[in-house]
Amino acid sequence: MEKRSMEKKMNFIFRGIKRHIKKDFKQVPSDQKSKLYVGVFTSIDENISFIKNTFSCSADLIIKEFNVRNNRGILVFLNTMTDSDKIQNHILSPVLEANGDQLESVLKSKFLKSDNLIKAKEELLNGSCIILFDRDQEFYRLEVAISKDRAVIEPNNEQVIKGSHEGFIENLLINLHLIRKSIRTPDLIMEHLSVGEHIQSKLTMVYMKDLANKEIIKEFKRRIDYISMDHIPSIGSLQELIEDSTWSPFPQILSTERVDRVIGHLNEGRVAIFMEGSPSCLLIPVTFFAFFHSPDDYNSRWMIGTFIRSMRLMSIAIAVNLPAIYIAVIGFHFEVLPDDLVLPVVSSIRNIPFPPLIEALVMELTIELIREAGVRLPARIGQTIGIVGGLVIGDAVVRAGLVSNTMIVVVAITAVAAYSIPSTEMSDAVRFLRFPLMILASTFGFVGIVFGFMFTLAHLCRLESFGTPYFAPWAPFRLKDLKDTFIRLPLWKFNTRPLDSNPKMLKKQSLSRGWKTNETNGE
């Protein structure tokens, strides 16, 4: 009866505390919610009841009782988040084998003390365990989180020929270690944030203290504070919540998994955002041309890098406009074809029962379906199915007289051009834009293509990324910043940092090839 009355009493106390916590959550701003306080109870039974009610007696909540110097204690942890070997070898065995020694002297794991049960709940969810003693209004928090991290390998979607082959993983601490290992300076600042009302996600903002613009940092924190979702499931969701214009097909925040790419942007005064559980990193602010840069551009000779980068930018025009140009030529402007191409093209489309727009849409959508299927299929058969499916479908539709040979060539060139873009998000945007241009071309011909191009260009000039013009250095035009856009001049020409990130220190280097100048002066 006494035990039952104790449980009823604890349930009543817990409901009061829960109502008080919920009330405080509504009144306290989002950045202060972690400061809510519920003190440790004097009775260990009250602490056990509070913890059980907090986790609703979940099956993975483990509470083990023990006695140390005739003092009753409990060890609390979530077995789905903790390493059982660490608990047994570093905590239970030393505590039970201690002969009158202080608890602090026998624990083999690092520990912290606290008197806030709300903090204890957070620590349990993070993979720590807590130790509570009867008549003690403080608890010990020990780190025993399970570690199941994959190896640091090169990202599959951002591979390079030369340079570093390190990529981020899902462990936030390891990702920050990779950054700190490469930038060994006290000017590298890391700030921890949290986002999410019900389930909080850990964020870390990384920047160079002497380079990053304070207004950009302040603006990012402001946007984070105004997010009032229960849970942010991924860094892609975070990107959508903080970017300037979600109605634009163009990404305004650069997402990457490469360590060397992040380091290069940090040294230009930009800010990197990491999230626990995600191998991607967000970079702000960025421009349109940053999505076409690759580490290989800087690891090869500058002339080769310029040529390859120019080819990538040319691929945009091909991927967006080529199907539309084909539709406009076949439907409206057949006279622009050279005389040697008129007969082959006419013979190719003579027996096609569909207009050029339907023909192009069918093939473009087929290519997208093959791509999507190749991504979802297992790696061992995905590539084979993609190649065989493309060949079989292409040959079958031509033999059936549904699509012309010319259309097959146009679609193939368009697909290759779209997939040559280093950024997956920009590649998706480019592939999407060709569909409205195809509709305009089928309606107005070349006039529709020109109108669509002008509208897209005006949209790019209007976009911003955290206050930075998206189409810089073309709009607004800055001649000095053109050295690293669609071209890549020699590195010793990079005397100043780009203005788009608004760095505190514009000067990057004084005279990189000083040995050459000294040699000339000596002669």
* pLDDT tens digits, 217-236: 999 999 999 988 888 888 98
From CA 401, how far away is CA 395, in angstroms rounded?
10
Which tokens go with 197?
């009302």
Please list, residue by residue across 282-298, b when 16 or more beta carbons sit within 10 angstroms of its beta carbon and e when fewer do: bbbbbbbbbbbbbbbbb
Q: What is the DSSP letter of 90?
A: I
In the chain, what percentage of residues exceed pLDDT 90? 26
On whether residue 217 sits in a domain, the answer given is no
Evaluate if residue 21 carries a pLDDT over 80. no
What total number of domains does the chain contain?
2
On whether residue 349 sits in a domain, the answer given is yes
Last-in-domain residue among 107, 125, 143: 143
On whether residue 162 sits in a domain, the answer given is no
Would you place residue 23 in the very low, low, confident or very high pLDDT band (cuts 50, 70, 90)? very low
Predicted TM-score (pTM) of the model is 0.80
From CA 191, how far away is CA 173, in angstroms rounded?
13
Strand extents, DSSP E, 163-266? 188-195, 201-208, 254-256
Q: Nearest Cα to 286, choosing from 497, 468, 486?
A: 468
From CA 467, how far away is CA 12, in angstroms rounded?
52
On whether residue 256 sits in a domain, the answer given is no
pLDDT in tens, 426-448: 988 998 999 999 999 999 999 99
| 261 C-beta neighbours (distance < 10 Å), count | 25
Whether 512 contacts 497, CB under 8 Å:
no
Whether 78 contacts 125, CB under 8 Å:
yes
pLDDT in tens, 187-199: 999 999 988 888 8
Peptide bond into 476 cis (omega under 30): yes
Counting other chains too, the contacts that 172-177 makes at CB distance below 8 Å and 24 or more residues apart are 172/202, 172/204, 172/274, 172/275, 172/276, 172/277, 174/149, 175/274, 175/279, 175/281, 176/204, 176/206, 176/274
On whether residue 352 sits in a domain, the answer given is yes
Last-in-domain residue among 436, 452, 469: 469
Residue matched to tokens 């053109």:
482
On whether residue 516 sits in a domain, the answer given is no
| Residue 113 φ/ψ, nearest 5 degrees | -105, 150
On whether residue 163 sits in a domain, the answer given is no
| Residue 75 φ/ψ, nearest 5 degrees | -115, 125
| 319 C-beta neighbours (distance < 10 Å), count | 23
Half-sphere exposure of 11 (CA within 13 A, CB side): 8
Last-in-domain residue among 143, 169, 194: 143
Evaluate if residue 450 carries a pLDDT over 70. yes
Q: What is the mean pLDDT of the chain?
A: 82
DSSP characters for 240-283? Answer: HHHSS-TTSSS-SSEEE-BHHHHHHHHTTT-EEEEETT-S-EEE
Which tokens go with 213?
């613009």
Would you place residue 463 in the very low, low, confident or very high pLDDT band (cuts 50, 70, 90)? very high
On whether residue 39 sits in a domain, the answer given is yes
pLDDT in tens, 265-293: 999 999 999 999 899 999 999 999 999 88
| Residue 286 φ/ψ, nearest 5 degrees | -135, 165
Burial class (CB in 10 A: 0-12, 13-18, 19+), 340: exposed
Which residue range forms the structural domain that includes residue 82? 2-143
